Structure 1
Amino acid sequence: MLCADCSCVVCVCVCVCVCMGIAIGFLIPPILVPNVDDMNELAHHIRIMFYISAGVATLIFILVVIVFQEKPEIPPTQAQAQARNLSPDEYSYTASILRLLCNKPFMLLVVSYGLNVGCFYAVSTLLNRMIIEHYPGEEVNAGRIGLTIVIAGMVGSLICGIWLDKTKTYKQTTLAVYLLSLIGMLVYSFTLNLGHLWVVFLTAGVLGFFMTGYLPLGFEFAVELTYPESEGTSSGLLNCSAQIFGIIFTISQGKIIDKWGTLAGNIFLCIFLLIGTVMTGFIKSDLRRQKANLQAEVQTVSVSTSVCAT
């Protein structure tokens, strides 16, 4: 069986792969769909982009059907190993959800995670609009800035994951990265209108480094707080929260930009990042998985000692 800490490596790899997909999404569309006035030509380019997307999605679906196994032969984590020892009658997904909803530290994390990632979704969705408002005609560079955010985020995910694996400081690291995300958002907001694209590239990269770097931290902290519940259940709730807040923030920020401009829209997100930072500070660091690992090590040492004594 893989050690429980190996899930951190898996989580980081998943986050990096997701970021690669997002990076391609920022880079390719501005190239495939140029800014032209002819609606027929524009529709033609959009149609080609959609055909390409459909083809890639179909290929991935076929690969999933052919290649993917229902479950790995060796349980990837201790939680999965325990779940396999239970009969279908003993395990209830609904009961697991209810237990997680009653877990106060985890619910604080669910909301704070949703606030952070929801802000990231809103910035990513409205990035082209914000860039074009201050830098007309820079559609391609808007895509490149989005690419910069994601690439910096990939680096951030790797570094944060490695740091977390070495130090096991789950709450401290999560809180620090959350605070730095807030600072990055503030700097990005107040430098967007300076008229220098290189400044936007720089501040957007810093923002992406911390905001995307927060993703594996949130998942791993959730696993610690909810052990021995399935990691898939806790991750699903985190993603659900992120999607809900992402929709709310994207719509709200869009309307704020329409009425008061991009700075007001970004300050709107900064307020919620501040709320999320405070909420993260109130999360009780109940590292259940680490405690279980420690108990297992103690039992192993006791058994070894007894065998040697015999």
Structure 2
Amino acid sequence: MLVRNKQFWITAIAFSFPAGVYEAWQVVLDVNLDPKVSQSTAGWMDFYATVGGCCSGMLVSRFADYFTRQIKLFLLVFYFLAAIVFLWCTFIVTDILPFDIVSLYAAIILGGVFLDGGGPLFFELVVEVSYPVGEGVTSGCVQMICSLAGIIFLSLVQVSPTDKQWMNWCFFSVIAMAIPLLFLVKANYGRADIDDLEVSVEEETQSVNP
């Protein structure tokens, strides 16, 4: 059932490719920024981006129930901002813009905030479009695609270890690719409808039997 669900595959690819490439991109960040940025500085950039992403992810998760039916809109905003920020980062690294360590810090940290902040919402959307398939099966398939994307990216790094500029353009491209894919997603909130119905029935029962 999941294999034949086109909406699942569109949503899963839109999430898994940027997330998988981002994880791999973080691993080789020191190689990517060498020699402009030291290994230690690159590590701190990655650290702050991860912390910022965790904080934004937890914050979004906390309030996700309040805008369940607006998930697609919020994801479009998050990924549009992430694409702009990582394009800015790419311009700095490739010398299209003047190199500035503060701007690079800001770009990488903000990118982590926007990209990881959309993670919980993407999980909710994937689960919604794949309902009634179980969450465990859905999340397992998404994680498999995510790992595959990271493996492909790291394999390309091994093929071309001296040419580093393509890493940033590739990363920006997969984020930009997710935006039109999100427009193709037909948000179906069947699981949310059932949850709302159960809450409504429970409230009516409590009002009848105080």
**TM norm. shorter chain > 0.5:** yes
1:201 aligns with 2:101: no
1:289 is matched with which residue?
A: 191
1:268 is matched with which residue?
A: 170
1:150 is matched with which residue?
A: 50
CA distance in 2, matches of 1:119, 1:295: 39
Structure 2: gaps (5+ residues): none
1:246 is matched with which residue?
A: 150
Query: Contact 1:113 / 1:218 at 8 angstroms: preserved in 2?
Result: yes
CA distance in 2, matches of 1:208, 1:288: 31
CA distance in 2, matches of 1:252, 1:230: 34
1:177 aligns with 2:177: no
Amino acid aligned to 1:189:
T
**Percent of residue pairs identical:** 20
Equivalent position to 1:140, from 27, 35, 40: 40
- Please say which structure displays the higher CA radius of gyration: 1
Q: Identify the structure with bigger relative contact order (alpha carbons < 8 Å, sequence gap 6+).
A: 2
Amino acid aligned to 1:188:
C
Amino acid aligned to 1:279:
L
- Number of residue pairs matched? 205
Equivalent position to 1:128, from 26, 30, 35: 30
Amino acid aligned to 2:117:
G
2:182 is matched with which residue?
A: 280
Query: Contact 2:32 / 2:167 at 8 angstroms: preserved in 1?
Result: no
- 1:255 deviates by 4.5
Query: Contact 2:53 / 2:114 at 8 angstroms: preserved in 1?
Result: yes
Structure 1: gaps (5+ residues): 1-98
CA distance in 2, matches of 1:155, 1:303: 38
Instruction: State the secondary structure of the residue aligned to 1:286.
Output: coil
Amino acid aligned to 2:29:
L
Please provide the CA RMSD for this pair.
2.2
TM-score, L = length of structure 2: 0.86
